[in-house]
Amino acid sequence: MNGGAVKVSIIIVSFNAREILRDCLVSIRRAELGFNYEIIIVDNNSIDGSCEMVREEYPDLMLVANDQNKLFAAANNQGADLASGEYLLLLNSDTLVDRGNIEKLVRFLDDAPSKIACVGPVVLNDDKSRQSAGYALPSIAERISMVLYLNRLLPRFIARRVLPAGIPGLYEADHQVGWISGCCMLIRSDVYKAFGGLNEALEFYGEEPEFCMRLDRKGYETWLVHDATIVHLGGKSSGQEYAPFLHDQVGAMRRYSTLQQHTVGLRTSIIMSRIVLATAWIKYLLFGKKTRAYFRMAIANEKAVIAYMKKLL
């Protein structure tokens, strides 16, 4: 955070996560990032003293203290409006940054053609096991690939050619994906702002695949930088107050259908759900009793999803 042009604007959205946010900020400082950066904290009306902690311990940071919970997309867009960096780093408050990893993302974008607009690292759990390494964009081909485990059944050299970009388990190098986890996304600032940022019509679900799909439709690419990592503690940035919101089944169905409307469309999504439903029935009949309860639940869920989305057509 020396003088000169800002290379990266780090935007951290937080909600009732004071201690986790503090740990995240400490990890950023300890990482000694090798470029000029600014940190913008957007607090979604926390009541746990998060804002007070930032003001007292990090007075040099930019803090936006919302008087209501604006959720993930709108809060990140608020931060982007204030950002002056060439790149935006959307970073969850429940992440821990290790030295050198953010630099790898920055160097990749510096060297990449302009059509590569968004990059991310391999996401690790607290025990350093892999949590995610990018995903394919939702589509009929993606759903068939996943339910039939084609990434495991096909030889890798064939799977890389015929399966959608981002299907897990096929690469041990930097590669194009459909979308990456929103816990750590490095995005060209001008592209983010030109696209209007994250979609605020989505309620705390699916912002990353929807944004990356918009990029894809305009010819931009999203990549995974294979030797860069981030530790994601997994959902702890949400705070316990989100629990009723996240476990409301009617709300979950509404959020899911809204995401489908903004990505593949309801008709295609129904076809995708029918693929999952048919596969669940086959597995229910073929596999042993120990797994039948799981597949009964999957069948019931897909039936409910299809019925809900049919009503919206």
- The whole-chain average pLDDT of the chain stands at 93
Give residue 234's pLDDT: 78
Q: What is the band of 237 on the pLDDT scale with cuts at 50, 70, 90?
A: low
- In this prediction, residues 167-183 reach a mean pLDDT of 95
Cβ count within 10 A of residue 243: 11
Kindly tell me if the per-residue pLDDT of 133 is higher than 70: yes
What pTM did the predictor assign? Answer: 0.93
Q: Give the pLDDT confidence score for residue 235 in this predicted structure.
A: 56
Residue 125 DSSP SS3: coil
Query: Above 90 in pLDDT, residue 200?
Result: yes
pLDDT digits (tens, 9 = 90+) for 211-225: 999 999 999 999 999
CB 125 within 8 A of CB 232: yes
- Contact between 208 and 197 under an 8 Å Cβ cutoff? The reply is no
Instruction: Specify the DSSP class assigned to residue 98.
Output: P
User: How far apart, in whole angstroms, are the C-alpha atoms of residue 84 and residue 140?
Assistant: 39
pLDDT per residue over 67-112, tens digit each? 999 999 999 999 999 999 999 999 999 999 999 999 999 999 999 9
Q: Taking the CB of residue 283, how many other CB atoms lie within 10 A of it?
A: 16
More confident call, 243 vs 124? 124
Measure Cα distances from 140 to 121, 137, 267 in Å.
26, 10, 11
Say if CB 87 and CB 189 are below 8 A apart.
yes
Closest CA to 180 of 234, 221, 146, 140: 221
pLDDT grade, residue 113 (50/70/90)? very high
